[in-house]
Chain A
């Protein structure tokens, strides 16, 4: 079966196009899936992670997935970020070292994810950000990564990649899983069988809301990330099933996509020139905490 991959940008339309691919291919089993890139004139490198959600599901159904008619500019982007290694199509040297390469991690592989960040975020083309910014950024990535491992309920792994845009002073990092989606978890937890994807994302963004079972508090991770992105004047995108959420200095927006993205993907984009201290003025002592 031929699947047309159009232009994919890191926008609601881009995610919706990937979701449409998934929907078109949802019945394939023990078949051939040919990803035809002839209509793709641009591909945002970080979108390799959500695209792999579709590919991982196809491969899990034992389909043979191949790439066709990829244009040189797109091929260059996807070879630089090592995405095309999953099709044995080789790697191009990332001369400017602005890429955090595509990688598949096992669930709960937090230590390996740490090694990955150590390797690709230090002393390369990624700008030297302030210590406070680097720490908050990495904390945010760990929150997303570890929560994906817990909530996705998928053995297919966690897919990550990132891209630095030097002219814009922006760094995007994307973490995706091929799991059940936020909606399913929230439906199970709240017992509301018809809650839609956008409402489920909104529920998950509310401080204190967590679908973790076992009588443990939670539900802070996404709120902390949103607070960080607000201060940093960056951007947060959450895509899960039919739901698309975006937060930036322009505000919050939810959109229902036309197609079902078969998992969850979170993209955070930070302003790398930010010099905020990210520490409140008050000095807390141990006695103030409890």
Chain B
């Protein structure tokens, strides 16, 4: 059995607009399902006309909460993204790695700053 699966994002969400968290969740669920089965996944962004970080955080960033970096690196590929969208995805992935490495760290620096009644 061919273990490689291509997920066509625009087909899956029924739109060329990758903008909502709900659609991102749909893509995440599908990718996670196949990764759990040990399959290699190609995420195709062909025909996608708009992509924002809100969507990518949920669709791809969230994977780092369920799978290891090694597993993701070995099993996932993306295609159909322009150079600037690749940069955006890289930002999202780096942010997700930091988030899952230590989710509380972001808050710690803000203790007692700007606390006053309005």
Contact = CB atoms under 8 A, between A and B. Distances in A.
Contact of A146 (B20, B73, B110, B118): B20
Contacts, number: 130
B72 interface: yes
A253 to B, nearest CB: 15
B35 interface: no
A208 B98 contact: yes
A146 B61 contact: no
Contacts of A136: 84
Residue in B58, B92, B115, B118 with the greatest tally of chain A CB atoms within 10 Å = B118
Contacts of B116: 194, 196
B115 to A, nearest CB: 5
Contacts of B82: 279
Size bracket of the A interface: 35 or more
B9 interface: no
Nearest to A290: B73
Contacts of A284: 83, 86-87, 90
Contact of A216 (B15, B52, B58, B117): B58
Contacts of A95: none
A86 to B, nearest CB: 26
B107 A216 contact: no
Contacts of A135: 84
B54 A143 contact: yes
Given A192-B115, A203-B110, A217 B54 contact: no
Chain B residues touching A, majority SS? helix
Interface stretch (A23-31, A53-61, A161-169, A219-227): A219-227
B76 interface: yes
A143 B53 contact: yes
Nearest to B91: A220
Contact of B65 (A215, A219, A256, A290): A215
B32 interface: no
Residue in A150, A192, A242 with the greatest tally of chain B CB atoms within 10 Å = A192
A165 B82 CA distance: 31
Interface string A247-262: 0000000001000100
A132 to B, nearest CB: 7
Residue in A110, A132, A197 with the greatest tally of chain B CB atoms within 10 Å = A110
A51 to B, nearest CB: 22
A209 B85 CA distance: 21
Contacts of B96: 217
A202 B93 CA distance: 23
A220 B17 contact: no
Nearest to B66: A215
Contacts of B54: 142-143, 146-147, 150, 218, 221
22 contacts: A110-B17, A114-B17, A114-B19, A139-B51, A195-B115, A197-B118, A207-B95, A209-B106, A215-B65, A216-B65, A217-B65, A217-B100, A219-B106, A220-B95, A224-B88, A256-B118, A279-B83, A280-B87, A287-B73, A289-B78, A289-B86, A289-B93
